[in-house]
Structure 1
């Protein structure tokens, strides 16, 4: 493996994603910052350079809610292929918000984009060693929101509870369970290769944006109450476990696990069941046309 490693961080224009990118740059990696706003990408790059003057960081514009743009991003990242990919981008979108490709935006951004991006990079990486890190949600909180593996679109459209203003968060939570299941499914399919796949919960972190534009009613009240639950340290604290998963020598070969505060933890049985993970994989493939 070359002395300078190439890293990719999605959702890198603020909060945890920017902090992860800064940490990886400080560790000597070349870092690609992925975001949907060219202006915010430039601002993030400038902030990282202010903290790490010799950082090698490059912005890559892509709207991860559009699978066509995810595929284009993967093509641009393939040469040279990355050594580290951190899938951090996530949104909480209105239930009625569908992309021009016809997919509900939360589902497309939070689950289908990592599915397409990481799968697209496996072949270019080939026999090289690489680490995939997927930033997920709290295993304890998400244990109560199992997904419907037979109809992925239903998870962000129906059965979201009676309180309309809180429904976007329920849909978001379901996609975070998909993140954990995707980690297990992809790690299983890549066993025997030099690519590892792990998930991480960064904690409830102040400064996380999540693209939340429809913050009203109970969801607004929840946001205000959650201010009391923020982990100390802000985005830098949230970046710690994902960065550790991407860089720690002691994690060579460790794959198919989910971590909280650098400790491997068990997620809910409905996320670890192999048959359910396989069904999620097949339905994801159907939705993205693979």
Structure 2
């Protein structure tokens, strides 16, 4: 990328409103050095959570169009079946499987991981499911719903499948975060949002901050295996989740919101392109690595990162040592 294009790209990123909108994506696609579209990935097995609507459904369809065998990890088999049929109709010859998985349920995650292990080595695991409940509530297992879905469930699924990802491709673990995480710091003393007043957008942003930190730690842990880990954010996309959780924001920004397909662009690219395999532990937007902090107050200390890992591992019921710990 030329210096001028790099400066333009950075300005779009820092000014947020144009950069996160469909206008920002359109502008970046016209800049010199825009990364090439991904190649076909015929026969690779890609599992994705949150696949029945919005960005997840768009990513599943686009990956199937690239030749991947797509596994829909979905809470509702009925909705997943409808998504499967829509993909097969749109992509003749596509191979799409359904595995029931409620990411907020540790028991369901364990069952889904067992089913995936029986099906053969994975090439990519895509953590796309996310929720923003309007009020604090707990699962039957006693975990706060947002934390369980956004953080603990994906952590457990990664822990159970990390050694099942193909190392020669290499395997990829991708986490859909949010640009909202830029405004929040970790709160390792309140991972399940019990102490502060429950504000849905702030809770979601803190969970997304936790995802980015955990991505970096998983990258460090899995680096010797060859498996790469990346997090990303999609910009502002017009999805059912946004419509339900942020109706005011959607009304104000709808003319410039990205389509689900545009929101899925970088997720699909990270899952299929060669460039993302040359690094690990990065945070991406519009096919470029981005900083993980824009404000000094959001930076965490090393002990906070370790405490986050231990707290999430304990909540998920899995014994995984902190990466780098003696």
TM-score interval for Structure 1 and Structure 2 normalised by the shorter chain: 0.7 to 0.9
Give the alignment's TM-score, normalised by structure 1.
0.87
2:266 aligns to what SS in structure 1? helix
Shift of 1:221: 3.0
Equivalent in the alignment of 1:50: 89
Is the partner of 2:88 in helix, strand or coil? helix
Q: How many angstroms does 1:135 deviate by?
A: 0.4
Cα 1:239–1:221, aligned 2, differ >3 Å: closer, same or farther?
Answer: closer
Aligned to 1:132: 173
Larger Rg over CA atoms:
2
In 1, the alpha carbon distance for the partners of 2:302 and 2:257 equals 33
Change in 2 beyond 3 A, CA 1:3/1:225: closer
1:216-273 CA-to-partner distances (Å, cap 9, x unmatched) read xxx5434433435513xx0110111011111101222321000011110111264565
Give unmatched runs, 5+ long, in structure 1: none
Q: TM-score, normalised by structure 2?
A: 0.78
Distance 2:93 2:243 in 1: 30
Which SS does the other structure have where 2:211 is aligned? Answer: helix
Task: Indicate yes or no: 2:251 matched with 1:187.
Answer: no
Matched residue SS, 1:58: strand
The alpha carbon displacement at 1:208 in A equals 3.7
For 1:78 and 1:211, the matched residues in 2 are separated by 35
Distance in 1 (CA, whole Å) between partners of 2:76 and 2:243 is 12
The corresponding residue for 1:257 is 282
Of 228, 235, 242, the residue aligned with 1:203 is 235
RMSD of aligned residue pairs (Cα, Å): 2.1
Instruction: Determine the structure 2 residue equivalent to 1:85.
Output: 125
Gaps of 5+ in 2: 1-40, 319-326
Q: Describe the SS at the equivalent of 1:192.
A: helix
Which residue does 1:284 correspond to in 2? 312
Aligned length: 273
